[in-house]
Structure 1
Amino acid sequence: MSEKRVLTIILALFLVLGGIYALKTPVFEASDELWHYPMVRHLADGNPLPVQVFDPAQAGPWKQEASQPPLYYYLGAALTFWIDTSDMAQVRRLNPHVDNGLITEDGNINLVVHDPMANPWQGTLLAVRVVRLFSVLLGAVTVYLTFRIAKEALPNRPDVALGATAVTAFTPMFLFISGAVNNDNLIVPLAGLALWLMVRLVRSDVVGAHDRGQLVLLGVVIGLAALTKISGVGLLALAWGTAVLRRWQREKRPSAWGKLFVVVGRGTVDWLLILLPALAVAGWWYYRNVVLYGDWKGWNAFIAVLGQRAHPASLAQLWGERWGFMMSYWGLFGGVNVPMPLWIYRVLNSVVVVGVVGFLVFLGREVQGWRWRERPFPAQILVLVERYFPLVLSLLWALAIVYGLINWARVTWSSQGRLVFSALPALNTLLAVGLVGWLPQRVGRVVMAGLGLFLLGVAALAPFLWIAPAYALPLADDVKLAQPLDVVFGERMRLRGFELSDLAVLPGDSLEVQLAWEAVAPMSRDWSVFVHLNDPVLERPIAQRDMYPGQGLWATSLMQPGERVVDRYVLHVPETAVAPANLELVVGLYDFATGERLLLADGRDAVRLADVQLTAVPGAYPNPVQVNFEDELVLVGFEVLPRRVAAGESVTVTLYWQVKRPLSADYTFFAQVVDEDTTRWAAQDLAPTEGTSAWQVGEVYPFTMTLALQADTPPDIYPIIIGLYTRTPDGGFDRLQILTEDGRLTDDFLQLTLLRVE
């Protein structure tokens, strides 16, 4: 089969699959579409660009996306201005309990509540689908540009070009994002087009006015990219290198140092033909950022709305987040909470490892025997860059995007693989070269065909096996649970029965609860179900699950009398729960907006279903735990006495520390009683008299602290937090972070347990 025919088939399959993703994924259930589309709608209604605020509570429905360059939103607005989207508030009904970014065992993954009776081809639903289908077309451009770039990289290896194209086209996450309202869908093809134009500038023999026209065209494309996403600005650096290399070619490839400096100067002048059009297209946006926010990037406003990590992440911490990063690169759908089976990620991650090793093998073979001493080193480097320019350019762009994401993810919670899609054509070109560029072509065809068909199969199944089922209502008319009930809340909702997975749990365990619900009467309000596991000492839940019926998918205002659902709730008992205890399992309904609860006929606001025994974990210390603080010290147990006190009284906290490795520092331990506003109502910082550096590896050391509550401490439930630190030379505090079992560094404190102040 000819190369052109295979490319046509890949593009056709991409368009079909992209359309399926665009139509099968519920509206607003794609990554950040919930905030991208309101920007489109705002501009479609003829409004000016919104001015971003620094208070997330006051931000518009676009949230942080108002800080993004606006080209994609203007294009979406131009396509949908004729559609009446006055129903957006009804379509965009936020789920107040959504587990955004969390993979759960019991659903509640929907960002919004969907009306199953809504017409998908009118109003906001139609407008979103129009922009989605436009995005699919942009994705097809990306697929084609991947072919062009990979073809330039190894012109005599169609298996590399078609293989890279197929990997781009059939990566499930790329299809998912291409079928969504997301500005990534414009930056990816624009960045790919800019790279291809740079390659053509170096590979072309055309000179004169046409050559200068190509420079201007490249500048316009980079300007459009910079007006889509800030990562587009980085293309200007690659364009400068391209202009210098192109000038070196036009100057007969000089090797003398003096002439090389002249080449750099003239190449920089040529680069101005790229820079000036880019500034003309996108400069106004970055000037606007300076005027409004005092930051040309606008990141200060973006982060103020988005939020950031409590402390910048280290490279070790980001490395610990690599699994989630790769999941969201290959396919983590919905609000980054609808996964594929784990084995698929393992297979694809293994392919990447093979590709990286293979790319090094390819480089080794290519440079083997290269005559390095024939020319001065700078000229030799230029010769190499010229020869392998598509690969060098792809590698530099991929590294730039990854480097930018690392810096961004250190500040914000943004360790998502899809955020490197700006370099997707470059990444897949490099991957294809690494997988088969060093193999015979006949073997390469088989390898790339196998990978492409595997990805095609996964991508074709994903909308039907994982995405659509995640949003299907779990209706159940005749399901009977082990414990039948007939409890009516406010003459609106009936609890028909329940089942428990167990009547005894350990700290750190999960308890599964099934509840059968039936709508008794029409409801105008959306009532949330709460399932609490209450500690009688605290008179508060130590574990709870709140969600709308139907695993979060069904607002009660949409339920009709007689409709039934059986829901599953998984409650996670904290590892630091104090045991033994007799816990009370209670259930009820409340209005999230007001806190009002639906009452039973006898005036109670909840029903007690069962007692659940919290059994102590066997161990040598009270309340055994395993909390690792950076492989220095491990908290292996604790005791808090008493857990119910009056204002002005004291609480004794005993911590049992095991030394993990020889300690060179003397740590100070802290314990605090804090409220939601981080007001400290009791605190103590204390160091062992002998210093922790004298503690022996493997030994366990009990350490007691006393928390004296202030006399004006308001009655409430407060967490007790603990941790340890050393002082820095400038007088700051260097806290140790908790190290998870999978190697991730997380918080620099531990919430130990709760305290009731009366």
Structure 2
Amino acid sequence: MANCLLALAVYLVRWMTIIIGASVVWLTYLVGREVFPELAVSGAALVAFNPQFLYLSGAVNNDIPAALCGAAVLLVCVRIARRGPSPRADVTLGILYGLALLTKLHLAALLVPILLAYLTPIPPPSHTLARRLFLTRAVRGILIILGLAAAISGWWFWRNLALYGDLTGMRKVNELWAGRSPAGNWWAVQQGLPYLWSSLWGRFGYGQLPLPPTVYRALFYFCALALAGYLIPRRGSLPWAALALLGTLCLTFMAVVVYYILIQPAGAMGRFLFPALPAFTILLMGGLSRFLPRRLTWAASLVVTLGMAALAVYALIGVLGGVARLLGYRVEPGEVKPGGSLEVTVYWQALAQADQNYVVFVHLLSDVGTIVAQCDTHPGLGSYPATAWQPGVAFADTYRLHLPETAYAPDEGYIQVGLYLPGGPRLLTPDGHNALRLAEVEIQPRPGEFPNPVDVNFDGQIMLTGYELDRRVACPGETIRLTLYWRPLASIDENYRVFAHVLGVQDQVWANSDSPLASDAVPTGQIIEDVRDLTVGLTTPPGFYDIEVGLHTGGDRLPVVAEDGHWLGGRVLLSKIRVVSE
């Protein structure tokens, strides 16, 4: 019963978010009517069909309500700029600003366009009486706004002060998000701006499902061209007071987001700019209209509206080869050790009737891109093949990944999923990738005396108890240092030789070390540290390779013995490595 009520609550909140998103579009239209009446529809369409805005409008979040606050405040400010302030506008802005502060802290920046609306255009000093009346009315209005906002939202800031000793609570947020000092982090801005731009228009899931790069470039060129339109001289005056408000709102929130990027790793989120999205879209349409005669403005509006609608349809059908869409996923646990297991639940939705049975692959990849664990299987372990899928039907499928005991740790891995035909290529996503990257997984080392502890028994004579690599990525001609830790289980009477190979396809050897184990006078149970250099061949092609290790006496290899006594072969595979071109 409790789960049903929770699900109902989530659906109700989602519907509420949809209504709020529609209200943002309507307010954008009203702002457009105040600034460029003939472009109001296309300005609203740029918001309505923004793929990221549409995507978040169907989810539980506070970014769409933040956009509503930004659009509402902008509408009142534009009307003040055109008609002057009034007691009704003072009260309206006070209520809106108070609600905005409760919605999201960075909406405090809305005070900047509010002040601009009230303080411009200020009469010149020569008009003393008019100037005094103007300033008196402006100050009175601003005080009313701040007073109402404090009455509505003040309790929240008092709570933060009582709980965290900080009015805004940002100190605690920074602790939770591994925040940093803004000093010296301009590199993060340069690094984060491309992600900020792409996530303003569409990056789905947790940001790991982007649109094709061509889409982002096309949108950038469109926006640059539209804004360049204001440089074109034309007859007729522009509504400069309203345009100043629109531009100020955009620049203010851009400055806020840049500050977020400086202090937080997750600061480069395009949704943080949503409060300024209505202002930005109206600015774009106003600039674009400067390229055309007034009688053809409708054509530009129609093209932009249809183009954005087409982009939204394309973007929100994020597909794998037109066969299926990934709706969500769950990875448990988030931390795993060698020898452990992961459960990956993927929520699929069929998009078309499949005429072939596709295979699902779920891989755990290491930080350097090597496969640590994998599961390749037909959906439902074969009980729900792709040919049985019905378009539009969503279903959950769970896959289990078992990490080998020799997996390298510590490591930061990630899950990727996709589809392929048996013996054929993988299906591609809209952005040209052949897999979708999902959650991060931390691979923790098992407890032990040595790095990467293992218990590999070679014929009851000697045990491999751990290993270490100085690198897992190398170029042809470079050397990988492998350290092996051996423990004799019995008195060593043979001259054992250790082999270590870098193996490619069909066990082709691309690096080799084969030499005696220095075990003279080593008592049973004492550790032998065995260091070996594996020099990657100069002709080794880029790719992923296994490292195999074993023992021999010049002839047969010593068998690896399982705990129950059966033989597992004459070698053990350690971590994979990656060879890259120079």
Residue 420, structure 1, aligned to residue 295, structure 2: no
1:400 deviates by: 0.9
The 5 A counterparts of 1:245-260 are 245=120, 248=122, 253-256=123-126
Return the offset for 1:182. 0.8
> Is residue 389 from structure 1 mapped to residue 241 from structure 2 by the alignment?
yes
User: Counterpart of 1:295 in 2: which secondary structure?
Assistant: coil
Question: For 1:98-153, what per-residue CA distance to the aligned partner results, in whole angstroms no more than 9, with x for missing partners?
Answer: xxxxxxxxxxxxxxxxxxxxxxxx43333212111111111111111111212222
Superposition deviation, residue 222 in structure 1: 1.2
Of 202, 206, 225, which residue of structure 2 is paired with 1:335? Answer: 206
Indicate how the Cα distance of structure 1 residues 615 and 321 shifts in structure 2: closer, same or farther if over 3 A, else same.
closer
**CA gap 1:276/1:343 in 2 versus in 1, 3 angstroms:** same
Establish whether residue 617 from structure 1 lines up as the match of residue 475 from structure 2.
yes
Task: Tell me the TM-score normalised to structure 2 length.
Answer: 0.59
Residue 77 of structure 2 is aligned to residue 195 of structure 1: no
Cα pair distance change 1:259/1:322, threshold 3 Å: same
Paired position in structure 1 for 2:223: 352
Question: Could you say which residue in structure 2 is the equivalent of 1:516?
Answer: 377
Matched pairs, number: 403
**What is the alpha-carbon distance in structure 1 between the residues aligned to residue 109 and residue 473 of structure 2?**
57
Please name the residue that 2:142 is paired with: 271
- Say whether residues 1:242 and 2:117 are aligned partners: yes
Q: Which residue of 2 aligns with 1:212?
A: 87
Counterpart AA for 1:231? H
Give the Å deviation of 1:269.
Answer: 2.7
Q: Separation in 2 of the partners of 1:237 and 1:498?
A: 51
Match for residue 455 of structure 2? none
2 CA distance for matches of 1:349 and 1:145?
25
> What secondary structure does 2:268 align onto?
coil
1:541 shift after superposition: 6.2
Quick one: distance in 2 between partners of 1:474 and 1:148? 37
Q: Secondary structure at the match of 2:194?
A: helix
User: Structure 1 residue 151 and structure 2 residue 56: aligned?
Assistant: no
- Following superposition, the deviation at residue 331 of structure 1 comes to 0.9
Whole-angstrom CA distance in 1 between matches of 2:148 and 2:362: 67
Unaligned runs of at least 5 residues, structure 2: 328-346, 384-397, 427-440, 448-471, 487-526, 528-576, 578-582
**Contact between 1:226 and 1:282, CA under 8 Å: does it hold in 2?**
yes
Instruction: Indicate the residue corresponding to 1:228 in structure 2.
Output: 103
Mapped contact 2:374–2:402 kept (Cα < 8 A): no
Partner of 2:62: 183
1:463 Cα deviation (Å)?
Answer: 3.5
Contact 2:28 2:278 in 1 (8 A): yes
Q: 1:453 aligns with which of 285, 300, 306?
A: 306
For the Cα contact (< 8 Å) 2:42–2:285, is it kept in 1? yes
Q: Distance in 2 between matches of 1:257 and 1:453?
A: 50
Contact 2:373 2:403 in 1 (8 A): no
TM-score normalized by structure 1?
0.46
1:203 Cα deviation from its structure 2 partner: 2.1
Counterpart contact for 2:409–2:444, Cα < 8 Å: no
Per the TM alignment, residue 442 of structure 1 is displaced from its structure 2 partner at its CA by 3.6
1:138 aligns with 2:20: yes
Q: Percent identity at matched positions?
A: 25
The equivalent of 2:408 in structure 1 is 540
RMSD: 4.7
Please name the residue that 1:431 is paired with.
Answer: 284
| Partner SS for 1:389 | helix
The Cα offsets for residues 549-579 of structure 1, whole Å up to 9 and x where unpaired, read as: x879xxxxxxxxxxxxx999xxxxxxxxxxx
Partner of 1:709: none
Residues 343-391 of structure 1 deviation map (CA, whole Å, 9 limit, x = unaligned) = 22222122122123223x15x65899xxxxxxxxxxxxxxx9xx52221
DSSP 3-state at the match of 1:181 = coil
For the residue of structure 1 that corresponds to 2:103, the secondary structure is coil
Letter in 2 for 1:407: Y
Deviation at 1:176, TM superposition (A): 0.7
Compute the displacement of 1:231 (Å): 2.4
Q: Is the 8 A contact 1:135 1:180 kept in 2?
A: yes
- Cα contact 1:340–1:462 (8 A) shared by 2: yes
DSSP-derived class of the 1:215 partner: helix
Give the aligned partner of residue 398 of structure 1. Answer: 250
What residue identity is the alignment partner of 1:274?
A: I
Q: What is the rounded CA distance, in whole Å, between the counterparts of 1:355 and 1:303 in structure 2?
A: 37
Paired residue for 1:530? 402
- Cα 1:342–1:470 change in 2 (3 A) is farther
Q: Cα deviations across residues 188-221 of structure 1 (Å, max 9, x unaligned)?
A: 112211111122223226x8xxx21221122111
**Structure 1 residues 313 and 322: CA distance shift in structure 2, 3 A:** farther
Question: Does the CA contact (< 8 Å) of 2:362 and 2:418 recur in 1?
Answer: no
CA contact (8 A) 1:356 1:431 kept: yes
Structure with higher Rg: it is: 2
Please report how far the alpha carbon of residue 513 of structure 1 lies from its aligned counterpart in structure 2 after TM superposition. 6.1
The DSSP-based 3-state class of the residue aligned with 1:529 is strand
Within a 5 Å distance, the mapping from 1:360-509 to structure 2 comes to: 361-362=231-232, 387-412=239-264, 413-466=266-319, 469-471=325-327, 472-473=347-348
